[in-house]
Amino acid sequence: MSTLTQAQPDTAIPARLLSVPLAVTFLAEFTSLTSFFLLLSVMPMLAAAGGAGSSGAGLMTGSLLLGTVAAEAVAAPAIRRLGCRTVLAAGVVLLTSLLPARAAASEPSFVMPSPYVIAIDPGHGGSPTSDPTHLWDPGVVVGAVMEKEITLDLAFRLRTLLQKESVKVVLTRTTDEYVEISERWNRVHASGARMFVSLHVNAFDGDPSINGAAVYYPKSESLPFAQAIDSGLAQSLSRFQIQDDGVISKPELWVHSDIPTATIEPAYLTNPRERSLLLQNDFRDAIAMGIFQGMLAADPQIDLTRIQIAHAEAAAAAQRQAEATSASDAARTATATRWGLIIGSILVLWVVMRTAIRRAVRTPQPPAYRRRTYRRRRSHSKL
Ligand SMILES: [Zn+2]
């Protein structure tokens, strides 16, 4: 058989599966692919946080996906033309740009307005102790009823109403403690309050028939404020038939005050009917509500600030929601990235195998069955 004599001995050099240029190409491809997949998890979040909304985030995802496909097509020619080092450097730049992008995405894009501050002074306070120098002041006392307890309770009720209006409330005392008038004003002043009320209940020694609600103001600057509180109180207490004694100038009270200030005496503890009302929850609620309505009428900024805070809180909630959505998007993207890398690796492996097979084909070798025959023949000839 003539074909047998043409067979060559096994002298071909075995093809190298992984050459250095191929390894570098593989590394460059891997870096560029990873950069794009990581960008894909961050850039839509950045777009949404920047005010582009979910449609903007979707557009960003779409363009990044297109970019990824384009980059995959461009990567190999780019490496050929620019060299693997340039392409690798570009990949590194893309990767390091992720951290600032992520930081920018998490920055809040709104400003929370500062709350409206109101100071409340529960009049009197403090109980006697074994220390004779310790000061205490129960206010008006009729039987077991003490003014200091009523004023603190009224302050708590008013605080609850104001806090529902997003107002920041500062009390000059929250417990049964003795506080000097100057110290009370220091606390009000330090709070940055924009209005201030001091709560008391009235007394008239010797005539229990004296009754009614009155509001005192220290200076003419506080007159409109005192009038607003008085009309709110009069309206709220009318169903209890409390006489409205109006506003009264008392320049000796709160002399240092430079904000709208009023001292409120909603009823007489020395009047039997008003005393029994002062022990009722619904009457105390009505006093707090009257003062609250008066405050709202005195300055529209209270309600405007509440609306601004509500809007800012809604914006904050929307941003938290967007961040949560981005986080779940990022999780999905991470899964997609893993699959992309797996498929990409398989593709790269397939390319490597094909290249290796092509190189092997270029060096012809005798078919396996012929080689076996040839070897058999050679061994025969030796016999
Ligand atoms: Zn008092």
Residues 134 and 221 in one domain: yes
| 383 within domain boundaries | no
Burial of 56 (C-beta count, 10 Å sphere; 0-12/13-18/19+):
middle
Residues 130 and 246 in one domain: yes
Distance of alpha carbon 46 from alpha carbon 106, whole angstroms: 8
CA torsion sign, 242 to 247 to 253 to 257? Answer: positive
| 377 within domain boundaries | no
73 CB neighbour count, 10 Å cutoff: 10
Do residues 195 and 167 make contact, with C-beta atoms less than 8 angstroms apart?
no
Query: In tens digits, what is the pLDDT along the chain, a chain of 383 residues?
Result: 444 555 455 556 666 777 887 887 788 778 767 766 776 777 777 777 666 777 777 888 888 778 777 877 887 888 888 887 787 787 677 666 666 666 665 555 568 899 999 999 999 999 999 998 999 999 999 999 999 999 999 999 999 999 999 999 999 999 999 999 999 999 999 999 999 999 999 999 989 999 999 999 999 999 999 999 999 999 999 999 999 999 999 999 999 999 999 999 999 999 999 999 999 999 999 999 999 999 999 999 999 999 999 999 999 999 889 888 888 887 887 788 778 888 877 887 788 777 777 777 776 555 555 555 555 555 555 54
| 346 within domain boundaries | yes
Do residues 238 and 232 make contact, with C-beta atoms less than 8 angstroms apart?
no
Residues 100 and 192 in one domain: no
Task: Assign residue 146 the CATH number of its domain.
Answer: 3.40.630.40
Q: Which two tokens stand for residue 245?
A: 């004694």
- End-to-end C-alpha distance for the chain, whole angstroms: 19
Number of domains in the chain: 2
Calculate how far, in angstroms, residue 130's C-alpha sits from the geometric centre of ligand 1.
Answer: 25
Residues 100 and 124 in one domain: no
Distance of alpha carbon 90 from alpha carbon 36, whole angstroms: 11
Calculate how far, in angstroms, residue 172's C-alpha sits from the geometric centre of ligand 1.
Answer: 14
Do residues 201 and 278 make contact, with C-beta atoms less than 8 angstroms apart?
yes
Among the listed residues 213, 228, 313, the one whose alpha carbon sits nearest the alpha carbon of residue 264: 213
Calculate how far, in angstroms, residue 328's C-alpha sits from the geometric centre of ligand 1.
Answer: 60
Calculate how far, in angstroms, residue 267's C-alpha sits from the geometric centre of ligand 1.
Answer: 11
Residues 99 and 121 in one domain: no
Give buried/exposed letters for 95-105 (b at 16+ CB in 10 A, else e): eeeeeeeeeeb
Calculate how far, in angstroms, residue 165's C-alpha sits from the geometric centre of ligand 1.
Answer: 27
Calculate how far, in angstroms, residue 297's C-alpha sits from the geometric centre of ligand 1.
Answer: 25
What domain range is 132 assigned to? 117-299
Residues 25 and 91 in one domain: yes
Residues 93 and 136 in one domain: no
Calculate how far, in angstroms, residue 208's C-alpha sits from the geometric centre of ligand 1.
Answer: 17
Q: Which CB contacts under 8 angstroms, 24+ apart, belong to 176-183?
A: 176/125, 176/126, 176/127, 176/148, 176/149, 176/152, 177/125, 177/126, 178/125, 178/126, 178/134, 178/135, 178/136, 178/137, 179/125, 179/126
| 8 within domain boundaries | no
Calculate how far, in angstroms, residue 372's C-alpha sits from the geometric centre of ligand 1.
Answer: 119
Model pLDDT, residue 211: 96
Residues 89 and 218 in one domain: no
Model pLDDT, residue 109: 59
| 255 within domain boundaries | yes
Calculate how far, in angstroms, residue 150's C-alpha sits from the geometric centre of ligand 1.
Answer: 10
Calculate how far, in angstroms, residue 151's C-alpha sits from the geometric centre of ligand 1.
Answer: 8
Calculate how far, in angstroms, residue 140's C-alpha sits from the geometric centre of ligand 1.
Answer: 7
Distance of alpha carbon 357 from alpha carbon 361, whole angstroms: 6
| 5 within domain boundaries | no
Helix (H) or strand (E) holding 47: helix 20-47
Calculate how far, in angstroms, residue 181's C-alpha sits from the geometric centre of ligand 1.
Answer: 12
Residues 139 and 239 in one domain: yes
| 308 within domain boundaries | no
| Backbone torsions φ then ψ of 371, nearest 5 degrees | -60, -45
DSSP string, 256-309: T--S-EEEEE-SBTTSHHHHHHHTSHHHHHHHHHHHHHHHHHH-THHHHHHHHH
| 175 within domain boundaries | yes
Calculate how far, in angstroms, residue 221's C-alpha sits from the geometric centre of ligand 1.
Answer: 23
Calculate how far, in angstroms, residue 257's C-alpha sits from the geometric centre of ligand 1.
Answer: 18
Residues 245 and 323 in one domain: no
Calculate how far, in angstroms, residue 298's C-alpha sits from the geometric centre of ligand 1.
Answer: 24
Residues 194 and 269 in one domain: yes
Residues 283 and 329 in one domain: no
Calculate how far, in angstroms, residue 265's C-alpha sits from the geometric centre of ligand 1.
Answer: 8
Which residue, of 257, 277, 299, is where some domain finishes? 299
Among the listed residues 332, 358, 347, the one whose alpha carbon sits nearest the alpha carbon of residue 30: 347
Model pLDDT, residue 146: 96
